[in-house]
Amino acid sequence: MTEVTDEELDKLELADWRRRVSDLYAEVRSTARTNPRFAWDHWRESRESLYRTHSQSPVPTAERAAFRAHHWPYDPALRFEAPVLADVAAPPATNVPTTGIARSNGPRESSFGGFGSLLLPVSTGGEQSFARIGFIDVPFEAGPRRLGLYWMAGYAGGLFLPFRDATNGAETYGAGRYLLDAAKSADLGGDTAAGTLILDFNFAFQPSCSFDPRWSCPLSPPENHLDIRVEAGERLT
């Protein structure tokens, strides 16, 4: 029997990382049905442990031993189950652009997936293909705000919901946070028959590139820029 090479070991460790994160979110979805706060505590503690100890952590190796995650206190008012709106002609929420989503530093149209397909800019340069599969109107206390919901064209596929808000650049990463990233198992569940998804902003997290710029992260498009502060989820300090 030959020894496992460093490259092969790296892939095995990455598989283990994905397995652990997937198991964590499965536990979160199950527990949150009856006790969202307990599920959140478990998510915070388990995720911090992984980021501090696992070889595939996005935290630079030299900083892992001292790493501690920071979060706002849990706010039950920021957990929603909301329908996915496929009808883009529905009355818009207050943050919907009135002149389209195209911006010089925003998404471009792509040929993937038909209507709603776009190319989102990536933190390390270039673009990544997504298909917008609908919108979600989130009933925040300050009034409803609309977020686009996307499906990744490449990688492992899956739901993707990034957002920016008025905490970015100070309390949170300047390029925004992720709420759903099913390609990496960050999926809070929903009701398929009813066409709803769970959006619990207490589980919002910083993308990997916020810890180390060598990681490549798709960035939130202008249509998902919220004009309010979302004081929930992971923060920088």
Burial-class residue 20 by CB neighbours within 10 Å (0-12, 13-18, 19+): middle
Domain count, the chain: 1
Task: Give the confidence band of 236 by pLDDT, cuts at 50, 70, 90.
Answer: very high
Q: How many helices (H) and strands (E) does the chain have?
A: 2, 11
Question: Beta-carbon neighbour count of residue 234 at 10 Å?
Answer: 22
Q: How far apart are CA 24 and CA 32, in angstroms?
A: 12
Q: Which of 10-14, 82-86, 87-91, 179-183 has the lowest mean pLDDT?
A: 87-91
Instruction: Give the chain's mean pLDDT.
Output: 87
Mean pLDDT of 180-189: 94
Kindly tell me the sign of the dihedral angle through the C-alpha atoms of 206, 207, 213, 217. negative
148: β partners: 135
| Residue 165 confidence (pLDDT) above 70 | yes
Beta-carbon contacts of 29 under 8 Å, excluding residues fewer than 6 positions away, are 39, 187, 188, 189, 198
Task: Give the confidence band of 127 by pLDDT, cuts at 50, 70, 90.
Answer: confident
pLDDT at residue 223, rounded to an integer:
93
The closest of 171, 162, 211, 186 to 52, measured between CA atoms, is: 211
In a domain, 209, yes or no: yes
SS3 109: strand
| Residue 135 confidence (pLDDT) above 80 | yes
Please give the model's pTM, rounded to 2 decimal places.
Answer: 0.86
In a domain, 130, yes or no: yes
Tokens in use for 71?
């979060």
* 4, 10, 28, 68, 71 from 161: Cα distances, Å: 37, 28, 18, 25, 19
Q: Which of 2-11, 47-56, 228-237 has the lowest mean pLDDT?
A: 2-11
Tell me the three-class secondary structure of 30-69, residue by residue: HHHCCCHHHHHHHHHHHHHHHHHHCCCCCCCHHHCCCCCC
In a domain, 1, yes or no: no
Domain span at residue 84 reads 72-235
In a domain, 170, yes or no: yes
Tens digits of per-residue pLDDT, 42-67?
A: 999 999 999 999 999 999 999 999 99
In a domain, 31, yes or no: no
In a domain, 21, yes or no: no
* H helix intervals, the chain: 6-32, 36-53
In a domain, 210, yes or no: yes
In a domain, 54, yes or no: no
pLDDT at residue 182, rounded to an integer:
92
pLDDT at residue 99, rounded to an integer:
30
- Amino acid at the residue 213: P
- Amino acid at the residue 219: L
Q: How far apart are CA 160 and CA 171, in angstroms?
A: 22
